[in-house]
Structure 1
Amino acid sequence: MRLPTDIPDCVLRSWHDTDKNALILHGNNRQIWRNLTGIFPHPYTEDDALKWVETANRPGRDVNLAVEFGGKAIGGIGIRAGNDVNVYTATLGYWIGETYWGNGIATAAVKAMIAYVLFSNEFARLEARVFAWNAASMRVLEKVGFVREGVLKYSIFKDSQIVDSVLYALVRDPKSLTLAEDNSPS
């Protein structure tokens, strides 16, 4: 898969084994780790990179892509598809190597992922939880149309702290979707 962004020389694409060194270089950064869920390890090792490439490329409803700039992987973006009663919800996550912060790459990557997800006709809701200390990520989401829905008090334990997270969402009218059969008991 290859998705263009509105920044020249920046695309979202499948992860490759050759991205291992870039993953280690950018991922083995405490500032990156600090803003991601517990599935992102620190320190980030060669074994972690190889496992991630394998996991990211598994077939299924989840989508995990590399953010490529200038021909090199510099970050990642993905959605985790909901299940059960949340089947039409996906959770968005992303990160960009610190060297590339402040260049609009995260915003461009999120915009491209939104276009792909909403075009897929698979989700009515895309949501993201941001750690309260990550104002830059909140600005990215707001720039691309996410709405702040609320603060989840003391919902995150990271870096030996219990902190708030902020819930953002982008929704579409479910009437525009072709819904699967509801198997709920009547």
Structure 2
Amino acid sequence: MIELRAYTLDVVEAYATYRNNRTIFDNGYDKVPNPFTLKDAEDFITLQTKKNIPERKIIYWKDQFVGEIGITINTDVFKLGAEMGYFIGAPFWGNGIASEAIKLMVEYSFKNFDIIRIEAGVFSFNKASMRVLEKNDFYLESIKKDAVIKNNVILDDYIWVKLKNPRT
């Protein structure tokens, strides 16, 4: 059973360990420190606990912390949209956790925030993440060619989208 829970400091060590996985780092933004220290984990989790309506949640599977998922709400003329990001700790890959967590986060986000659109950018090599989004009825809206530089490699950014109430 998958649950999304509020952040707590009791997951700091596991959070830092999961974040320090090279594959997870390679699939994320460079703004995430590498290496990801216990202090980085503590600071990030503390920041999340201070939000009235949290935009990020930690993922539990079989009552064990396994990863995190969340949105960042856009601003200005894009304020009705949000960007979603997530990771699952390597020991738990292949169990369908990300797919169920995305489903729960989408439901939570559309219910609790004034947004009508969630998008997830996926680097061109991350086919597993694309499949998980597609399973959750996200559609491939665009491919931004040569939009990303990660580890000194130029990549395409695949933009997957889910609309709250798609127009027909």
Letter of the aligned partner of 2:86 in structure 1? Y
Q: Distance in 2 between matches of 1:114 and 1:20?
A: 25
Q: Distance in 1 between matches of 2:158 and 2:152?
A: 19
Letter of the aligned partner of 2:15 in structure 1? L
Matching residue of 1:151: 143
Q: Secondary structure at the match of 1:48?
A: helix
Matching residue of 1:90: 82
Structure 2 unaligned segments of length 5 or more: list them: none
Matching residue of 2:121: 129
Matching residue of 2:57: 65
Deviation at 1:61, TM superposition (A): 6.5
**Match of residue 18, structure 1, among 10, 15, 20:** 10
**Match of residue 39, structure 1, among 11, 19, 31:** 31
Letter of the aligned partner of 2:136 in structure 1? V
4+ residue runs over 3 A deviation: none
Q: Distance in 2 between matches of 1:121 and 1:93?
A: 16
Matching residue of 1:161: 153
Deviation at 1:174, TM superposition (A): 8.3
Deviation at 1:117, TM superposition (A): 1.4
Q: Deviations over 1:132-165 (max 9, x none)?
A: 0100000000000000011101111112211111
Deviation at 1:14, TM superposition (A): 1.1
Q: Distance in 1 between matches of 2:103 and 2:97?
A: 10
Deviation at 1:88, TM superposition (A): 0.4
Q: How many residues align?
A: 167
What's the TM-score once normalised by structure 1's chain length?
Answer: 0.84
Structure exhibiting the larger radius of gyration computed from Cα positions = 1
The 1:61/1:30 distance shift into structure 2, 3 A limit, reads: same
Whether the 8 Å CA contact 2:143–2:156 is kept in 1: the answer is yes
Q: Distance in 2 between matches of 1:54 and 1:75?
A: 16
Matching residue of 1:107: 99
Deviation at 1:76, TM superposition (A): 0.7
Q: Secondary structure at the match of 1:113?
A: helix
Calculate the aligned-residue CA RMSD, in Å.
1.7
Deviation at 1:26, TM superposition (A): 1.1
Deviation at 1:120, TM superposition (A): 2.6
Deviation at 1:107, TM superposition (A): 0.1
Is 1:49 paired with 2:45? no
What's the TM-score once normalised by structure 2's chain length?
Answer: 0.93
